[in-house]
Amino acid sequence: MNLILTLASRNLFHDRVRLIATVVGIVFSIVLVTVQLGVFLSFERMVTTMIDHAQADFWIVPAETKSFEESSLLAGRERLQALSVDGVTAAIPVVVGYASWRKPNGGASTPVLVVGAPTTAPGLQPWNVVEGSPDDLSMPDGVAIDRSYFEQLGIAQIRGRAEINNQKARVVAVTNGIRSFTTTPHVFASIERARAYLGVPPNRANYYIVRIAPNANAAVVRSRLAAGLSDAEVLTSDEFRHRTRVFWLFDTGAGAALLGSAILGIIVGTIIVAQTLYSSTKDHLKEFATLRAIGSSCRYILKVILAQALISAVVGFAIAAAIDLALVRMTSDAALPIVMTPELTVGLFGLTVVMCAIAAISAIRVVTRIDPVLVFAQ
C-alpha cells in the first residue's frame, strides 16, 4: 500500500477516541442530511401524486392556480371550448375540495380532500385498488379511501359508512398507499358525488383533463386551446407538477425548512470533522515537520491530510448509509416516508467527501505553514 495511505490510515486508527469523534460527526451530519433530503424527495413526489396518476395530455386550470389542492372553479364553458379544438378527444372534469368527514360512530369531524372525476372516463381514477373497484364509485354514495386512513376516518372495513359535509358516504373501494403529504386523507368519488359534497354546481369543475388524438400536434393543440380561454391556463403535466412543487416546497416554506435543516447538518458535520482533523494534525505536528525536514513537498503532506479526511469520509458514510437504510425501511409505511434513491446515495457520498475535504482546510493551513526547524525543538 502507498505510504501516504498507510500513514493517513494509521494516524487515524491510532487515536481511536478521536476517530470515533470524527466518524460520529460525519454520521450525525449525513444521517441528518439524508433524513431531510429524503423527506424532501418524498414530499416532492407526494405533492404531485394526483397529477402523476392522471392520464392527461394537458390540464385546463384556473388562472394563477398554485397547486392541485388549491384552486378555484373554472367558469364551465372551457369543456366545450376545448372539445371544439381539432385534435382534442376528451375534456374530463375534475373537482377538488376540502370537506368535513364525520365518523359513523360520532366523535369529532376530520377534514378530507375530496377528489371527483367521471367513473366512465380514464381521467383521474383511484389506483392501487385492493378491495372493490374504481367502477364501484358509480354506486350511490360510493367513495374510495386508502386503508391506511381507516382508523383516522373511523372505518373498520369496506362498506363502512360515514358523512361528508352532512351527506351520506359509503366506502365501496379501498386503495393501498395513496397517502396525503398532509394529515388530510384523500377521498375519491364520482364527479357527481364530489360536486354534491363540495357544493359545486353541475357543469363546473376545478380542472379539465384534456386528451388529444395520438396523431395530433400537441404544440398546435395547446396554442389553440389557450387562445380560446380566458381566466384559465393550459398546462402540461410537467408544468402543473412544477407549479405544485414550487408552491408546496417553497411558497409555503416547508421545502426551505427541510433544505435549511440539511444545510445545517452539513455545517455542523463539517465543523466537527474540521475540529477533529485540526486537533489531530496539531498532535502530529512534529511528524509533519519531520516529513518536511526529510524533504517532502507540501503536496505530499497535503495528500496525507486529505487521505485522512477521505478515509474518515468513507468510514463515516458507510455507517451513515447503513443507518439511512434502516430509517428508510422503518418509515416505508409512514405518512411521509424517507426516500433514498441511487442518485441521492451517490450525491450524499460526494457530499461527504467534499465536506471532509473542506473540513481538512484548517489542518492544511497548519501544515503548509509548518517550519521544519521544529524537529530540533525538544
Partner 1 sequence: MKNIMIEATEIAMTLGEGAARVEALKGINLSLAGGELTLLMGPSGSGKTTLLSVLGCMLSPTSGTVQIRGRSTTGLNAEQLAEVRRDNVGFVFQSYHLFPTLTAAENVRLSLDVRGERSSRARVKAETALATVGLSHKANAFPRALSGGEQQRVAVARAIVGDASVILADEPTAALDSENGHAVMTVLAEIAKDAARAMFIVTHDPRIMPFADRILRIEDGRIVNDQRRGANLSAVRTLKYAS
Site string for partner 1, 293-312 (x = CB under 8 A): xxxxxx-x------------
Contact 104, 128 (CB under 8 A): no
Work out whether 246 is an interface residue with partner 1 (CB under 8 A): no
Work out whether 7 is an interface residue with partner 1 (CB under 8 A): yes
Among the listed residues 212, 1, 171, 174, the one whose alpha carbon sits nearest the alpha carbon of residue 86: 212
Work out whether 322 is an interface residue with partner 1 (CB under 8 A): no
With CB under 8 A as the contact rule, the residue among 156, 257, 334, 373 that binds partner 1 is 373
d(C-alpha 130, C-alpha 175), whole Å: 5
Considering only residues 50-109, where is the footprint of partner 1 by CB under 8 A? none
The piece of 3-11, 206-214, 229-237, 355-363 that touches partner 1 (CB under 8 A) is: 3-11
Q: How far is CA 242 from CA 65, 196, 295, in A?
A: 12, 30, 58
With CB under 8 A, what is the number of residues at the site for partner 1? Answer: 26
Work out whether 193 is an interface residue with partner 1 (CB under 8 A): no
Work out whether 3 is an interface residue with partner 1 (CB under 8 A): yes
Work out whether 366 is an interface residue with partner 1 (CB under 8 A): no
Work out whether 224 is an interface residue with partner 1 (CB under 8 A): no
With CB under 8 A as the contact rule, the residue among 36, 207, 292, 344 that binds partner 1 is 292
Position 351, amino acid: L
- Residue 251 Cβ, how far from partner 1 at the closest point, in Å? 54
Contact 27, 205 (CB under 8 A): no
Contact 371, 301 (CB under 8 A): no
- Residue 350 Cβ, how far from partner 1 at the closest point, in Å? 28
Q: Count the residues in the chain.
A: 378
d(C-alpha 128, C-alpha 239), whole Å: 25
SS (H, E, C) 198-216: HCCCCCCCCEEEEEECCCC
Where along the sequence are the contacts to partner 1 (CB under 8 A)? 2-4, 6-7, 10-11, 14, 286-287, 290-298, 300, 371-373, 375-376, 378
